[in-house]
Amino acid sequence: MENFTFVVPNRILFGWGSLDKVSEELKGLRGGTPLISTTKGMVKREGFFKLINLVEKEKMSPVVFNRVEPEPSIETAEKCLKVAKEKGCDLIVGFGGGSAIDVAKKVAVELDLPKIMIPTTAGTGSEVTHESVLKVGGEKRAFVDKRLTADVAIVDPSLMMTMPKRLIASSGMDALAHAVESYECKKGNELTRALAHKAYSLINDNVRKAVSYNKDAISSMALASLMAGMAFANSGTTLCHALTYPLSNKGIPHGEAIAIMLPPSLEFNNFDKEVITEIRGIIKDVGLPARFEGDVYEMATVVMKDKRHLANNPRKVTFEDVVAIYSKVVGRV
């Protein structure tokens, strides 16, 4: 039996309505002035108003930083950090998708503050990982540190019922990639592979129904995202994620970049053909793109710098391999 280390938040609260317990968790971490990292769109949603009411009900004074953009930059994290310092915040809350959570985790580590992560999408699993992905100099970079692990993760599927259909689909593809890549990667272990296998099964069974706002399917996708997040946080991901970074640098949403690059990357790795066929069927059924436009040589140069993902891939990858993979999917969208 192999040895391994497994890192997860101190507490994970999962289930419909679990946001109601946020006040109790804030008090447990002795927070009085929490900073909430989120986006402009999120502050208009019912779930955000509920969060604020729950915090204020306990006589706490929340500070809201709502300037997190998709694929956030290190500069955004620095702005959030400045606000947290100026307002004397004593706890950090990430509320939203992976972008808001990644900024929150980076700020919390810089200030050495406790942190609660609350996802509103079923895909990134960022609430249970110990990494923060931010753009540095216009290119995505992953900061990996065990201190980035949340003290508490609250996964409430009801918050995900307001996701646009395309976001349900694309975030579901992100979770699916986390599951498949953590299953095939070099650093996986029995626990990460078990979580990955179950997460994939849940996604395959539920993502199509989730885009129609089926309540049970949304709950299953939230659980799948959580499980896949726990898996890849402790095993890492592989070639597919390396291939998506240049696409995201060009403005393609991460989940859509995943949908484009996952099938050809799995084919390169000689993954199970039946699974690849299933994945292609899912991508088609949920209406995500399968092609993109770009300079394959320029992007391949970026990919080859990503030693972390490539070293974890089950098959050695060369520059020529990456060019060939990109060439399969490049063209007019």
Residues near 283 by Cβ (< 8 Å), separated by ≥ 6? 173, 259, 262, 263, 290
What would the pLDDT profile of 56-103 be if each residue is shown by its tens digit? 988 899 999 999 999 999 999 999 999 999 999 999 999 999 999 999
Residue 196 in contact with residue 188, Cβ under 8 Å? Answer: yes
pLDDT recorded at residue 10: 94
- Coil, strand or helix at 253: coil
| Phi, psi angles (nearest 5°) of residue 265 | -70, -40
Say if domain 11-162 classifies as CATH 3.40.50.1970: yes
| % of the chain exceeding 90 in pLDDT | 93
Confidence band, pLDDT 50/70/90 cuts, at residue 2: confident
- Examine the pLDDT at 183 and tell me if it is beyond 80: yes
Q: Provide mean pLDDT across the span 39-62.
A: 94
pLDDT recorded at residue 332: 52
pLDDT recorded at residue 275: 96
Q: Provide mean pLDDT across the span 165-179.
A: 97
What would the pLDDT profile of 226-255 be if each residue is shown by its tens digit? 999 999 999 999 999 999 999 998 889 999
Say how far residue 275 (Cα) sits from the centre of its chain: 22
Half-sphere exposure in the Cβ direction for 123 (13 Å, CA): 25
Q: What is the pTM of this model?
A: 0.94
Instruction: For domain 165-329, give the CATH superfamily.
Output: Dehydroquinate synthase-like - alpha domain (1.20.1090.10)
| % of the chain exceeding 70 in pLDDT | 99
Cα distances from 28 to residues 62, 93, 294, 299, in angstroms, run 16, 14, 49, 46
Q: 275, exposed or middle or buried, with CB in 10 Å at 0-12, 13-18, 19+?
A: middle
Q: Provide mean pLDDT across the span 205-222.
A: 97
Residue 227 in contact with residue 181, Cβ under 8 Å? Answer: no
What would the pLDDT profile of 113-161 be if each residue is shown by its tens digit? 999 999 999 999 999 999 999 999 988 899 999 999 999 999 999 999 9
Residues near 290 by Cβ (< 8 Å), separated by ≥ 6? 259, 260, 263, 280, 283, 284, 329
pLDDT recorded at residue 58: 86
Q: Provide mean pLDDT across the span 16-30.
A: 94
- Examine the pLDDT at 333 and tell me if it is beyond 50: no
The overall average pLDDT reported for the chain is 95
Cα distances from 84 to residues 35, 121, 276, 293, 295, in angstroms, run 6, 25, 45, 40, 40
Each domain of the chain, given as residue ranges in start order, spans: 11-162, 165-329
What would the pLDDT profile of 57-66 be if each residue is shown by its tens digit? 888 999 999 9
At position 238, the amino acid (one-letter code) is T
